[in-house]
Amino acid sequence: MASCLISRRAPKPDWRQTDRMLAPVVLAALSMSAVSIAAQVDVATPATVVLKSKAANKLLLDQEKPEYPTLAKVNYIQGDVRLQVLVDPRGRVSEAHVLKGHAFLAAAALNAIRHWVYRPYKTDSGPTDFSTLVDFNFALRIQKVNDLPPQPEDFLRRQVRPPAVLTESPASPGATKLRLRVLVSAEGNAMDSDLVEGPPSLFHAARRSLEGWTFQPARWGNHAVPWYLDVDVPVGESPPGAARLAPIRP
> In a structure prediction context, what are the per-residue pLDDT tens digits for the chain, which is 250 residues long?
444 434 334 444 444 444 444 444 444 444 433 333 333 333 344 568 999 988 999 999 999 999 999 999 999 999 999 999 999 999 999 999 999 999 999 999 999 999 999 999 999 888 999 999 999 999 998 766 676 788 999 999 999 999 999 998 887 778 899 999 999 999 999 999 999 999 999 998 898 889 889 999 999 999 999 999 999 999 876 554 444 555 554 4
Residue-level pLDDT at 212: 86
Residue-level pLDDT at 245: 58
Kind and range of the H or E element at 132? strand 130-141
Residue-level pLDDT at 101: 96
- Coil/strand/helix, residue 227: strand
- Residue pair 248/203 in contact (Cβ under 8 Å)? The answer is no
Q: Does residue 185 come out as left (phi exceeding 0), alpha (psi in the -120 to 50 range) or beta?
A: beta
Residue-level pLDDT at 160: 97
Q: Does residue 188 come out as left (phi exceeding 0), alpha (psi in the -120 to 50 range) or beta?
A: left
List the 218-220 sheet strands across, edge first: 160-161, 218-220, 223-225
Going from N- to C-terminal start, the domains of the chain cover: 5-142, 161-235
Q: Under CATH, domain 161-235 is a member of which superfamily?
A: TonB (3.30.2420.10)
Which CATH number among 1.10.10.10, 3.40.1370.10, 3.30.2420.10, 3.30.565.10 corresponds to the domain 5-142?
3.30.2420.10
pTM above 0.85, yes or no: no
The span from the CA of 195 to the CA of 186, in Å, is 21
Q: Quick check: do 5-142 and 161-235 share a fold?
A: yes
- Name 12's bridge partners: none
Alpha-carbon separation of residue 40 from 58, 96, 213 (angstroms): 16, 19, 35
- Residue pair 217/177 in contact (Cβ under 8 Å)? The answer is no
The span from the CA of 94 to the CA of 117, in Å, is 10
